Amino acid sequence: MGYGNRTAGVALALVIAASGVVSGCSSPSGGSKDGKSVELLNVSYDPTRELYKQVNAAFAADWQKKTGQAVTFKMSHGGSGKQSRAVIDGLGADVVTLALAYDVDAIAQRAKLLPATWETRLPDNSAPYTSTIVLLVRKGNPKGIRDWADLVKPGVQVITPNPKTSGGARWNFLAAWGYGKKAGGGSDAAAQAYVTKLFQHVPVLDSGARGATTTFTERGLGDVLIAWENEALLSEKELGKGKFDIVVPSVSVLAEPSVAVVDANAKKHGTEKVAEAYLKFLYTPEGQDIAAKNYYRPRDAGVLAGYAAVFPKVETLTIRDFGGWAAAQKRFFDDGGVFDTIYAGPKR
Amino acid sequence: MGKAAAASRWRGASVIPGFGLTFGITLVWLGLIVLIPLTTIFLRAAGLGWDGFVAVGLSPRAMAAYRLSFGAAAAAAAINAVFGLLIAWILARYEFPGKKLVDAVVDLPFALPTAVAGIALVSLYANNGWIGSLLVPLGIKVAYTSLGVVIALVFIGLPFIVRTVQPVLADLGGDVEEAAATLGATRWQTFSRVIFPAIAPALLTGFALAFARGVGEYGSVIFISGNMPYRTEIAPLLIATQLEQFDYPGATAIACVMLVASFSMLLLVNVLQAWRAKRGTR
């Protein structure tokens, strides 16, 4: 009896020792002792890979010139909500650059790693670049799609990702809702009727925005893709040259991807200064120009003017028109919300 | 009769001494790796209370998703049982050029990230894909239907059957068949009375593994299923949607239902197997 206990104890001690070794091995990111170099972890969402590759290089050069300190970057990309949960669960992001404010709010509320007022700390609601929702159609626009109303015509198939799993898709949904409401003279019932009809034209709900883009561009499914403008421009100009056209609808939303320093992590890593400078760099003419080159609409009017041919004017609603993200999420996308009522179960 | 004697009876004899040590490590290890993580799922779900648990975990939408997940996994495991057995038979009984290659190919679904499998399958079976474009004129749609889910699960489940059955078949040897033949058994009798009973436990294990893998599969399925609520939405996706709204208890409620269902089925398979083995030795 005593023998068994003792050996179990030894085994337990071994396991604890082993787990100690494992946790001791994880290298904390952050500043080096001599202050000559510093490392930042930027936790971002999927379609920003190219954007931040260029931003990082430009910022590192700028920072080196100003302070003599070398900055290296670690990037993490994934679905915006997934990335937010990773930070909540302990991924040591110095900054987050996510698809919607709701995902940053979650980090502030659930893990208290940054103050709830984070959105007011940088200009333009802490969203240095924006995008909008447009309609990508096949070359020559064979189905004659000019606006949201054409998406619910008989025989039109619409591709959009699932708003329950994709942050980007929530903007799509809100854009459609905004149109339905305006077309229906401001009535919520009309808006709901419109989006319900719209989703009856959706044959596939991809779980993420990139998946939906692939379904439309590579699999040849659907007549129109509801997409972020930057993704649509990328598809039109780079993925399928001459295979697609972009239709700018009469009403859309201003998609504002948010950026924020994750205070608690930056403090722990000693990277507060450089992390803040990094995000502020996004607002400089140079940072804004890089955003515009990657098809994100710059906030800076001067830089935007230079890209007038790329970004046509469009009437946009903002998330404030929907009462902010917390209210919009609860009303439209949480369980039992408007989106769930669209799929009311099999016909019995 | 002493305590030690009674203990040694249930411990059984072993060439390697040290039951206490090995048993201790086993328990601690299983506890740390399997039981503690799974227990936290139940603890988190318990935070919902019974009504909350039923509202999320047993909602009509969740039930539809379980039906698809478990049904498609069972169908795929059954298909694999037939064709996996065939492949195992070929590999165990015949020599042919390129056999090593075929043997290695069987394991590919294990090694491949499942998302890669999903993307590859959907590009093949989409309406404009190689296979899909041939099936569409026949009125068969694979991608974005529950048939697509089954095909993805067949793909990822195949190695389980082959790898459990193949060594048993190889061990069985041709001499058993020859012996049966000399005793006047027909080919069918040889298979049904001699070979099949010998490989049945392995086949059942393979089926259970493939089934369990299919129930939990996420990566490959979400690309090919179309993810339509009530129709082609799998349970793991429903868990992902709960997490996306930061509803951890809701996600764990669905996870609990899946866990209990999967565990009961695996237990059932084990009992069946034990029963078979007992009957076999008599």
- Report the 3 state secondary structure along A292-308: HHCCCEECCHHHHHHCC
Instruction: For residue B154, give the nearest of B77, B243, B92, B74 by alpha carbon.
Output: B77
pLDDT confidence of residue B25? 92
Q: What is the dihedral of CA A23, A29, A31, A36, to 10 degrees?
A: 120
pLDDT confidence of residue B181? 86
Instruction: For residue A170, give the nearest of A213, A137, A209, A114 by alpha carbon.
Output: A209
Residue of chain A whose alpha carbon sits nearest to that of B143: A204
B130 vs A215, B106, B125, B127, B134, CA distance in Å? 16, 22, 7, 8, 7
Q: CB of B235 within 8 Å of any CB in chain A? A: no
Q: Is B61 exposed, middle or buried (0-12, 13-18, 19+ CB in 10 A)?
A: middle
Rounded distance, CA B144 to CA A111, Å?
A: 38
Lowest mean pLDDT among A32-41, B19-28, B60-69: A32-41
Residue A345's pLDDT band (cuts 50, 70, 90) = low
Q: What is the pLDDT of residues B200-223, one digit of tens each?
A: 989 999 999 999 999 999 989 998
Residue B119's pLDDT band (cuts 50, 70, 90) = confident
Closest CB to A219: pick one of B60, B122, B242: B122
Q: How far is B76 from chain A (nearest CA, A)?
A: 22
Tokens of residue A73, six digits:
């970057």
Q: What percent of chain B has pLDDT over 70?
A: 94
pLDDT confidence of residue B100? 93
pLDDT confidence of residue A28? 45
Do the strands A224-228 and A70-76 form a parallel or antiparallel pair, or are they unpaired? unpaired
Q: What is the dihedral of CA A329, A334, A336, A339, to 10 degrees?
A: 70
Rounded distance, CA B206 to CA B166, Å?
A: 11
Q: CB of A8 within 8 Å of any CB in chain B? A: yes
Instruction: For residue A193, give the nearest of A228, A226, A152 by alpha carbon.
Output: A152
pLDDT confidence of residue B281? 54
A315 vs A173, A238, A318, B30, B85, CA distance in Å? 16, 26, 10, 59, 62
Three-class SS state of A201: coil
First to last CA, chain B: 30
Q: What is the pLDDT of residues A252-300, one digit of tens each?
A: 999 999 999 999 999 999 999 999 999 999 999 999 999 999 999 999 9
Which residues 163-192 in chain B show a CB within 8 A of chain A? none
Closest CB to A11: pick one of B25, B126, B231: B25
Strands (E), A158-221: 158-159
pLDDT confidence of residue A22? 43
Cross-chain residue pair A345–B28, CB shorter than 8 Å: no
Domain boundary assignment for chain A: 38-127+256-283, 131-254+318-344
Residue B98 confidence (pLDDT) above 80: yes
More confident residue, A243 or A28: A243
Cross-chain residue pair A346–B64, CB shorter than 8 Å: yes
State the DSSP string of chain B.
Answer: --HHHHHHHHH---SS--HHHHHHHHHHHHIIIIIHHHHHHHHHHHTTHHHHHHHHHT-HHHHHHHHHHHHHHHHHHHHHHHHHHHHHHHHHH---TTHHHHHHHHTHHHHS-HHHHHHHHHHHHSTTSTTHHHHGGGT---TTSHHHHHHHHHHHHHHHHHHHHHHHHHHHHHHHHHHHHHTT--HHHIIIIIIHHHHHHHHHHHHHHHHHHHHH--TTHHHHH---TTTT--HHHHHHHHHHTT-HHHHHHHHHHHHHHHHHHHHHHHHHHHHHHHHHH-
Top CATH class of A38-127+256-283 equals alpha beta
Which residue of A3, A110, A162, A218 to mutate against B (max B Cβ within 10 Å)?
A: A162
Rounded distance, CA A172 to CA A335, Å?
A: 18
Q: How far is B77 from chain A (nearest CA, A)?
A: 26
Contacts of A4 in chain B (CB under 8 A): 20, 23-24
**Residue A74 has what DSSP assignment?**
E
Residue of chain B whose alpha carbon sits nearest to that of A337: B245
Residue A84 confidence (pLDDT) above 70: yes
Cross-chain residue pair B227–A204, CB shorter than 8 Å: yes
Cross-chain residue pair A343–B230, CB shorter than 8 Å: yes
Tokens 């893998």 belong to residue: B213
A315 half-sphere exposure, CB direction, 13 A CA radius: 8
Residue A167's pLDDT band (cuts 50, 70, 90) = confident
By the 8 A CB rule, do A205 and A157 touch?
Answer: no
Tokens of residue B88, six digits:
């195992």
Q: What is the pLDDT of residues A312-332, one digit of tens each?
A: 999 899 999 999 999 999 999
Q: How far is A169 from chain B (nearest CA, A)?
A: 12
Q: What percent of chain A has pLDDT over 70?
A: 89
Residue A21 confidence (pLDDT) above 50: no
Contacts of B29 in chain A (CB under 8 A): 15
Residue B15's pLDDT band (cuts 50, 70, 90) = confident
Q: Do the domains A38-127+256-283 and A131-254+318-344 sit in the same CATH topology, yes or no?
A: yes
The pair phi, psi for residue A146, each rounded to 5°, is: -115, -30
B261 vs A244, B215, B216, B254, B255, CA distance in Å? 47, 10, 12, 11, 10
Instruction: For residue A42, give the nearest of A82, A117, A79, A92 by alpha carbon.
Output: A92
- How does A31-42 read in b/e, with b if 16+ C-beta sit within 10 Å? beeeeeebbbbb
Residue B12 confidence (pLDDT) above 80: no
Cross-chain residue pair A4–B20, CB shorter than 8 Å: yes
Mean pLDDT for chain A?
Answer: 89
Closest CB to A85: pick one of B126, B143, B243: B243
Averaged pLDDT, B35-64: 90
Top CATH class of A131-254+318-344 equals alpha beta
Contacts of B226 in chain A (CB under 8 A): 203-205
Residue A4 confidence (pLDDT) above 70: no
Rounded distance, CA B6 to CA B24, Å?
A: 19
Rounded distance, CA B218 to CA A56, Å?
A: 33
Averaged pLDDT, B244-248: 87
Averaged pLDDT, B172-180: 85
Q: Can you name the residues that pair with A134 across neighbouring β-strands?
A: A227
Residue A209 confidence (pLDDT) above 70: yes
More confident residue, B87 or A28: B87
Rounded distance, CA B103 to CA B43, Å?
A: 44
Tokens of residue B277, six digits:
């083995």
Tokens 């047993």 belong to residue: B58
Residue B227 confidence (pLDDT) above 50: yes
Residue of chain A whose alpha carbon sits nearest to that of B63: A345
Q: What angle do CA A326, A330, A331 make, to 5 degrees?
A: 115
Cross-chain residue pair B243–A4, CB shorter than 8 Å: no
Residue B13's pLDDT band (cuts 50, 70, 90) = low
By the 8 A CB rule, do B73 and B211 touch?
Answer: yes
In order of their start, the domains of chain B are 16-46 (no CATH), 55-280 (1.10.3720.10)
Q: What angle do CA A240, A246, A252 make, to 5 degrees?
A: 135
Cross-chain residue pair B241–A165, CB shorter than 8 Å: yes
Residue A244's pLDDT band (cuts 50, 70, 90) = very high
Which residue of A46, A87, A205, A213 to mutate against B (max B Cβ within 10 Å)?
A: A205
More confident residue, A168 or A224: A224
Q: CB of A243 within 8 Å of any CB in chain B? A: no
Q: Is B266 exposed, middle or buried (0-12, 13-18, 19+ CB in 10 A)?
A: middle
More confident residue, B203 or B3: B203
Q: Look up the pTM and report it.
A: 0.82
Rounded distance, CA A83 to CA A52, Å?
A: 16
Averaged pLDDT, A202-221: 89
Closest CB to A7: pick one of B21, B32, B243: B21
Tokens 């893990």 belong to residue: A111
Averaged pLDDT, B56-83: 95
Averaged pLDDT, B76-99: 95
Contacts of B8 (CB under 8 A, 6+ apart): none
